[in-house]
C-alpha cells in the first residue's frame, strides 16, 4: 500500500538495492528534469523525471525527493517567466511520485530497483478537487476543478487534494530552504556594498558620484533608492556622515569617468546586490503564493471532511 505521497515502502532487499545518494545529487537530478521539461514540448514533468532517474537505482523516497526538487525548479522557472502573472501552470501537472514510480515499475525501466505491488493503484493525475470554485489552487499546477457528486468520485477527489497538499508542502519546504540561503548571501553582499561605498566616501568620492556609477546597472529606480538608503543608514551608523552631510554629498557629482567600469568594487558589489536581492524577492513571492494555495487546499479538505 502506498502512503499519501505515493511512495511505496521498501523491503529489505529493495533497501539494499537502492544506492545512498546525497541530497545535492537528488536536487541536481530534479533540476535536470525541470530543464528537460522546459526543452521538450509535449513531455510532462513526470515523464521528464522518469527519463532522468530511470538508470539511477533510486528508492521510492529518493524518487519523491527528485520530484519535489523538479517541481520547485520548474515552478521558479515558470514564475520568473510569468512576470506579474501570479498563477503558474504546468502542462500535464507537476511531477507526481506515484506516476513516476508506476512508470518505472511497469518494466519500461528494468534497471531501477523498485517494489512491484499488485494492489498498488496510483491516484489520478488530473488534480481535480470536488466542492470548490475556480481558484489559484486549481490553476497552480495546470489542473482544473470540477464538482463530483458520487461517493467514489468524492473519495478520489479527497485523495487528490491530499496528494496535492503533500506536493505543495514539499515545494514550500524547498523554497524556504533556498530563501534562507539567499537571505544569508543578501546580508553578506549588503555588508560588502556598504563597506565598499564607505571606503570610497572616506577617500573623497561623493555619494552623487556613487549613484551615478550605479544608475547604469540598476534594474529599477526602486532598487537604486533601496541601495542608497541602505548605504546612507550605514554611514550614519558609523558616524561618518549625518543627514546634512549626506544630502550635500548626494547633490555633488564627480567628473565623468572618475569612477571606472563594472569591475570597480562599488559597481561590482552593487550588481551582486541587485541580483541576489531580486532572487530573494522572487523566492519570497513564490512562498507567499504557495502558502495561499495551501490555505485553499486545506479549506477544500475541511469542506470534504
Question: Using one digit for the tens of pLDDT, what is the confidence trace for 161-179?
Answer: 788 888 888 888 888 888 8
Q: Interhelix angle for 60-82 vs 23-39, to 10°?
A: 50
**With 80 as the cut, is the pLDDT of residue 16 above it?**
no
Other Cβ atoms closer than 10 A to 260:
11
Q: What is the DSSP letter of 147?
A: -
Max alpha carbon distance in the chain (Å)? 78
Q: Which of 187-191, 248-252, 280-284 has the lowest mean pLDDT?
A: 248-252
Question: Percentage of the chain surpassing pLDDT 90?
Answer: 23
Give the number of residues written for the chain.
305
Q: Which of 86-100, 119-133, 172-186, 242-256 has the lowest mean pLDDT?
A: 119-133
Q: Which of 6-15, 47-56, 204-213, 262-271 has the lowest mean pLDDT?
A: 6-15
* Look-up of cell digits 513571492: 285
Q: What is the DSSP letter of 125?
A: S
Single pTM value for the model: 0.55
* Look-up of cell digits 550588481: 271
Q: Which of 39-43, 68-72, 145-149 has the lowest mean pLDDT?
A: 145-149
Domain ranges of the chain: 1-122, 180-286
Using only the alpha carbons of the chain, give its radius of gyration: 25
Phi, psi angle pair for 229, to nearest 5°: -65, -40
pLDDT score, position 107: 53
- Output the CA torsion sign for 196, 198, 199, 203: positive
**With 80 as the cut, is the pLDDT of residue 3 above it?**
no
Residues in CB range of 209: below 8 A, 6 or more apart: 252, 253, 254, 258, 259
Nearest to 98 by CA among 64, 73, 140, 144: 64
Nearest to 64 by CA among 129, 3, 140, 1: 3
Amino acid at each position: 500500500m502506498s502512503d499519501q505521497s505515493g511512495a511505496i515502502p521498501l523491503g529489505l532487499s529493495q533497501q539494499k538495492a537502492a544506492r545512498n545518494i546525497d541530497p545535492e545529487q537528488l536536487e541536481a537530478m530534479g533540476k535536470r528534469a525541470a530543464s528537460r521539461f522546459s526543452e521538450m514540448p509535449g513531455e510532462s514533468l513526470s515523464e521528464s523525471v522518469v527519463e532522468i532517474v530511470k538508470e539511477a537505482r533510486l528508492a521510492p523516497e529518493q524518487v519523491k525527493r527528485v520530484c519535489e526538487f523538479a517541481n520547485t525548479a520548474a515552478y521558479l522557472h515558470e514564475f520568473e517567466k510569468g512576470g506579474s502573472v501570479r498563477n503558474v501552470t504546468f502542462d500535464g501537472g507537476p511531477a507526481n511520485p506515484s506516476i513516476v514510480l508506476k512508470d518505472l515499475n511497469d518494466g519500461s525501466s528494468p534497471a531501477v530497483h523498485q517494489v512491484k505491488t499488485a494492489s498498488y493503484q496510483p491516484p489520478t493525475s488530473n488534480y481535480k478537487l470536488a466542492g470548490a470554485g475556480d481558484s489559484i489552487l486549481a490553476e497552480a499546477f495546470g489542473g482544473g476543478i470540477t464538482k463530483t457528486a458520487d461517493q467514489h468520485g468524492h473519495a478520489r477527489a479527497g485523495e487528490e487534494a491530499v496528494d496535492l497538499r503533500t506536493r505543495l508542502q514539499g515545494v514550500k519546504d524547498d523554497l524556504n530552504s533556498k530563501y534562507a540561503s539567499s537571505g544569508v548571501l543578501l546580508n553578506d553582499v549588503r555588508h560588502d556594498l556598504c563597506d565598499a561605498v564607505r571606503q570610497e566616501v572616506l577617500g573623497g568620492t561623493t555619494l552623487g558620484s556613487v549613484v551615478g556609477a550605479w544608475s547604469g546597472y540598476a534594474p529599477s529606480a526602486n532598487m537604486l533608492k533601496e541601495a542608497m538608503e541602505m548605504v546612507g543608514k550605514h554611514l550614519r551608523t558609523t558616524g561618518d556622515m549625518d543627514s546634512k552631510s549626506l544630502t550635500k554629498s548626494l547633490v555633488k557629482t564627480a567628473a565623468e569617468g572618475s569612477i571606472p567600469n563594472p569591475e570597480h568594487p562599488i559597481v561590482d558589489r552593487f550588481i551582486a546586490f541587485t541580483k541576489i536581492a531580486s532572487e530573494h524577492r522572487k523566492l519570497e513571492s513564490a512562498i507567499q503564493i504557495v502558502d495561499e494555495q495551501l490555505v485553499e487546499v486545506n479549506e477544500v479538505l475541511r469542506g470534504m471532511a
